[in-house]
Amino acid sequence: MSVSTQKSMPLRADERGATVGTFHIEDVYPCIDAGRFPVKRLAGDRIDVWADIFRSGHDVIVAQLIWRHEQDRDWQRSVMTLQDNDRWFGILAPAEPGRYVYAIEAWTDEFATWKRNFELKQKAGQDITLDALEGAALLTRAQYGDKDATAIILRQCEDFLHKGDPASLLVPELTSAMAEGCVRSDLTRSRSYPLTVDRTLAVAGAWYEMVPRSQSAVPGQHGTFRDCIARLPDIAAMGFDVLYFTPIHPIGRTNRKGRNNALTAADDDPGSPYAIGSKEGGHDAIHPDLGTFDDFRELIAACKTHGMEIALDIAVQCSPDHPWLTQHSDWFKRLPDGSMRYAENPPKKYEDIVNPDFGCEDAGSLWNALRDVILFWINQGVRIFRIDNPHTKPFNFWEWLIREVQTKDPGVIFLAEAFTRPKVMKGLAKLGFTQSYTYFTWRTQKGEIESYLNELTGYPERDYYRPNFFVSTPDILPYHLQSGEPWMFKSRVALAAALSSTYGIYNGFEILEHEAIPGREEYLNSEKYEIKVRNWDAPGNIKSYIAALNRARRTNPALLQTRNLRFLPVDNDQIIAFTKQSDDGSNTIVGAIALSRESRELWLPLESIRMETVNGSKPPVAIENLMTCERHAIEWGGVRLRLDPLRDPALLFQCLA
């Protein structure tokens, strides 16, 4: 890819929308909602850009792909090539995270057009005297190009004027020099398209969610950050990249919820961590029983030594005791009788929570305060934030906040926790959320799993929606896990870890916690309302299984992306079969995962798979089990396998060429 950096040149274009000028530049890809929202990629990714470019007549066209960081003035440029039927192709590859824009420029190559016509007339034996003079005149009008190109143009122009031989105008190096240097009187630029470039953890990671206050080894004792540090080796041994905390702020006393969400709390009930704020502080404070800011920074440093990062839960809501209710009472709504309007989702009421009023007269100060909360925690070393219920707050607020934060630190990651309508979830992803919760938690049947993944990996979703497959959350204990069967827990975590590049578990999953409120998808004795102490090495735990999955992910780039996923036709509605391939085609994974507990034989068809090797594209000759290293030769276009879910519900293989 040839890339150059150049200052902007005169052009005829309307940066606000459609092209103005000689050229039509249409059907640009990638592009989200006609350029309203940014396409998302990773730093270092090769980004293929396509566009239809055409003009009237038969003149020779030149097209360039241009891009820059949105805060820069100068553009980087690379040549686009014509494929067929006026479809042009170019490549860009920003090396650093940040917000970029890209566009396409096209112009007529007057010299190449002249040369083509001149040679046709010359071949036909026509008089070319005046045509040669026209070609020489084009050389005298050249305006652009580097020193080498300028030197070639001057030399050949002088040579023609001295000898009068048209051959001086036809040498290949002059054609190249004039392509760079000729006048671009009809230069046309497309509108600019936004591009967000992120770091790797924005796309590929394994999340471990836990409630910090429940990490003590002493029953009834409030956990601390030091207790969390003590747990890091165990979590790191399972192969997790992100340690995600529920809110760590002081918890209000007013209307505090008791165990199992009881309306009345006992004196020793800790309350919900989502009832944020007390006399000890608000969103920029730490619950005093967890420790100090020094303890928190020590935890962040300890995570780093284990190859993990901390993610914080940000809930834009307050306890009635939050300092903001006193300092900024106009940020909150009240009922006609003057009493506080508590949060509700009729018929549910949340008496321990009040929501800020984004329509208040001082909304600007509210927006700034919430942005400053994020910036405050970034200053403490946090760069990943899970946003609670973002769909209940104004979309334009999130678009503004994410831009404000990522302008200061483009490596900050935002996860949208929005279990809501599909278009709303996609809208949040478009406006800037780095990752998104999904419906995977409830997808259990083969048809609906395949259909959902085909949607997420299709266009245009794949260019902006990055799924994070959580198998459970503190709020959701799915019905399919409530039996506590180990094979089902293994099947669900294998599906999440293999199908999505990013997935997560809620602590307790590894020890098969499954006691639910009867008839509901909620945990009985939820730690949202009490402190729990667990035996993390309880008999029957699946920690080693999760660790093996995460090892397989880290050693196989194909599993660390969600874009190149294809389902394989297996004649059994209780088995999901698929293949995933790394972007460069060198790493290919195939898998078969059981959706029920019965043992089955299956034929895994592999005849459609091709791998990129140093000797070109080839079909695989064998597959190797990622867990057991057992190999199977591929014969007659596939492999016959036996899947025993009670032993292992997932068969994952690397293809060997």
Residues at the binding site for alpha-maltose 1-phosphate are 257, 317, 352, 389, 528-529
Judge contact between 380 and 296, C-beta under 8 A: yes
- The one-letter code for the residue type at 34 is A
Residue for token digits 């979703």? 461
| C-alpha span between 294 and 336 (Å, rounded) | 45
- The pair of structure tokens assigned to 445 is 């049947």
- The pair of structure tokens assigned to 444 is 């259990």
Give the distance from CA 508 to its chain's centroid.
27
Q: In Å, what is the CA distance from 185 to each residue of 21, 188, 356, 563?
A: 10, 9, 55, 41
Residue numbers annotated as active site: 388, 417
| C-alpha span between 469 and 386 (Å, rounded) | 14
Beta-strand pair 600-605/638-643: antiparallel
- Three-state SS for 113-128 is HHHHHHHHHHHCCCCC
Closest to 50 (Cα-Cα) out of 11, 85, 22, 74: 85
| C-alpha span between 133 and 161 (Å, rounded) | 9
Residue for token digits 């929501």? 355
| C-alpha span between 158 and 174 (Å, rounded) | 12
∠ CA 30-557-96, rounded to 5°: 50
Judge contact between 464 and 36, C-beta under 8 A: no
- The one-letter code for the residue type at 503 is Y
Residue for token digits 């014509």? 82
| C-alpha span between 86 and 125 (Å, rounded) | 32
Closest to 527 (Cα-Cα) out of 481, 471, 473: 473
CB-neighbour burial class of residue 294 (10 A; exposed 0-12, middle 13-18, buried 19+): exposed
Using DSSP's 3-state secondary structure scheme, residue 514 falls into: coil
- The one-letter code for the residue type at 591 is G
- The pair of structure tokens assigned to 539 is 């008999």
How many C-beta neighbours within 10 Å does residue 346 have? 5
Q: In Å, what is the CA distance from 495 to each residue of 98, 240, 471, 592, 630?
A: 32, 16, 9, 9, 21
| C-alpha span between 176 and 609 (Å, rounded) | 41
| C-alpha span between 520 and 512 (Å, rounded) | 18
| C-alpha span between 573 and 446 (Å, rounded) | 6
CB-neighbour burial class of residue 43 (10 A; exposed 0-12, middle 13-18, buried 19+): middle
Question: Which residues are CB-contacts of 164 (< 8 A; sequence separation ≥ 6)?
Answer: none
| C-alpha span between 290 and 249 (Å, rounded) | 9
Give, for 295, the enclosing helix (H) or strand (E): helix 293-305
Please say whether the dihedral angle defined by the alpha carbons of residues 179, 185, 191 and 194, taken in this order, is positive or negative: positive
| C-alpha span between 38 and 427 (Å, rounded) | 12
